[in-house]
Structure 1
Amino acid sequence: MDLIRNGSYNFYKHIAKLFYAVAFIDGNVRPEEIEAFKQTFREEWLKKYTDKEGIGQIFKEFTILHTQERDADESFYEFVGYKREYENLFTNTLRNILWKVSCVIADRVHKKNKSELILLVHLGKELGIVK
């Protein structure tokens, strides 16, 4: 995780873009999705990493994206581009955390809707979790 700490701002910003895209893909970010994201991410992240500063930065970036109502697809593809450029940062542990948190966000309100399912399929393929 030293690589993440050294280049943290862009890393955290792009992780936030992923979670924002999952929450906003249906055109609405609900309070339940934000709470699920924050709680699950904090729990999963701290099981594996000691970087508490990163949690706050990701939450801050998520809030900025939400306030700006950024396009969900654009945010997702910016995350994908970053991930592909810095593949070495995305360990199996991190990929599993990203996948789990994304699924929890999508599942929170009315279970997964069609737009969330499509995004999760693309994410799963990108992370190597879905074939």
Structure 2
Amino acid sequence: MEEMEKLHVLFYQKLGELFYAIAASDKIVRKAEYKALQQMVLLEWKNMDDYKDSFQEDAAYQIEIVFDWFEYDNLDANECFKSFTEFYKQNTSLFSKERKKLIWKTANVIANSFSGMNKSELIMLGRLKLLFS
């Protein structure tokens, strides 16, 4: 796999980390949040580009894989958000206007998927908005 493809696979893995951080911001990841993520990957992210992972699967599935793995390990949402922030700052060229728009949409869909947004999710979304501005 060439370097650019590896970077794009990492991009999708970092998105999984971000979306996990949004869902886990209130210390509980609900089934509805994971289902919302799966729908967004299937309906939106898969169509974003043609990058493949090392198994020749659409790299967008890395979003779900990382989200699932982080949930299993019960990682800290704030640490995950910090890690995503560092990646974003080091790779701003990967974050086109279109991609930022879809990231924002996905984050909101996840946050709204279980009886509306709570305070923790609103704070995390606010941090994401500041990062992107």
**Cα shift readout 1:83-115 (whole Å, capped 9, x = no counterpart):** 000001011111011100000000011201001
State the match for 1:42 in structure 2.
Answer: 42
Contact 2:22 2:110 in 1 (8 A): yes
State the match for 1:56 in structure 2.
Answer: 61
3-state SS of the aligned residue for 1:54? Answer: coil
State the match for 1:94 in structure 2.
Answer: 99
Q: In the superposition, relative to structure 1, how do residues 42 and 3 fare at CA in structure 2: closer, same or farther (>3 Å)?
A: farther
Unmatched segments (≥5 aa) in structure 1: none
- Structure with the larger helix share: 1
State the match for 2:54 in structure 1.
Answer: none
User: What is the alpha-carbon distance in structure 1 between the residues aligned to residue 48 and residue 15 of structure 2?
Assistant: 16
User: What is the alpha-carbon distance in structure 2 between the residues aligned to residue 68 and residue 103 of structure 1?
Assistant: 24
State the match for 2:89 in structure 1.
Answer: 84
Q: In the superposition, relative to structure 1, how do residues 4 and 118 fare at CA in structure 2: closer, same or farther (>3 Å)?
A: farther
State the match for 1:105 in structure 2.
Answer: 110
Identity among equivalent positions (%) equals 30
* Aligned residue identity for 2:11: F
In the alignment of these two chains, the number of paired residues is: 127
Q: 1:61-80 to 2 correspondence within 5 Å?
A: 61-80=66-85
User: What is the alpha-carbon distance in structure 2 between the residues aligned to residue 121 and residue 74 of structure 1?
Assistant: 16
Return structure 1 stretches of 4+ with deviation > 4 angstroms: none
**Cα shift readout 1:6-47 (whole Å, capped 9, x = no counterpart):** 423422221111000001000100000000011023212234
Contact 2:22 2:124 in 1 (8 A): yes
Matched, 1:25 2:25: yes
Contact 1:4 1:11 in 2 (8 A): no
- What is the RMSD computed on CA atoms of the aligned residues? 1.8
**TM-score where L is the length of structure 1:** 0.88
State the match for 1:8 in structure 2.
Answer: 8
